[in-house]
Chains A and B, each alone.
Chain A
Amino acid sequence: GQNIDQPTEMTATEGAIVQINCTYQTSGFNGLFWYQQHAGEAPTFLSYNVLDGLEEKGRFSSFLSRSKGYSYLLLKELQMKDSASYLCAVIHHAGNNRKLIWGLGTSLAVNP
């Protein structure tokens, strides 16, 4: 089957660095997304990884290890506005079927 695990909640301090982990199990992996979702708002795209390694985009970086079924999202220089839920989603591809499997999200609280 397919499964995604990420911590339910995390807390960090303004200005600090936080790493949000995501582990997945799927037989037809074809890429991994990270989205940010503020309460009551739509998810917004942060990053996409399909090859192993680190992708850096400003204060946010995303890492993927396909052999370990593992990804993390790294947020640097945390700001209060980074308080949100962070969703990990994996593309599962089987034959002509392609679907996005979503984790339940990690709720990050950034404290002053």
Chain B
Amino acid sequence: DAKTTQPPSMDCAEGRAANLPCNHSTISGNEYVYWYRQIHSQGPQYIIHGLKNNETNEMASLIITEDRKSSTLILPHATLRDTAVYYCIVRVMSNDYKLSFGAGTTVTVRA
């Protein structure tokens, strides 16, 4: 799986959009970008994933650059409950494939 690079931490104001960058410059054509988050040692929570098109769901939006070498997770209106560690993971699309977690970005949403 391609390696990802994320900033170690970032702050965000409550009610504002949080934009979380991820660099995956060695991504292959058959690899997807997944985002999970972990709130205070709870189980990782799936957020969103995508291949090359931008994706949106009820939690977030995922913007992937045209060359697929980087992506941005957008939390449109951050709340205090969005304070968590966010993981960007690149993985091959297949069933039965382990997730390789890095250190992620610690996002702190401030009132």
Whether both chains belong to one complex is answered with no
B residues bordering A, Cβ < 8 Å? none
Binding site for B on A (CB under 8 A): none
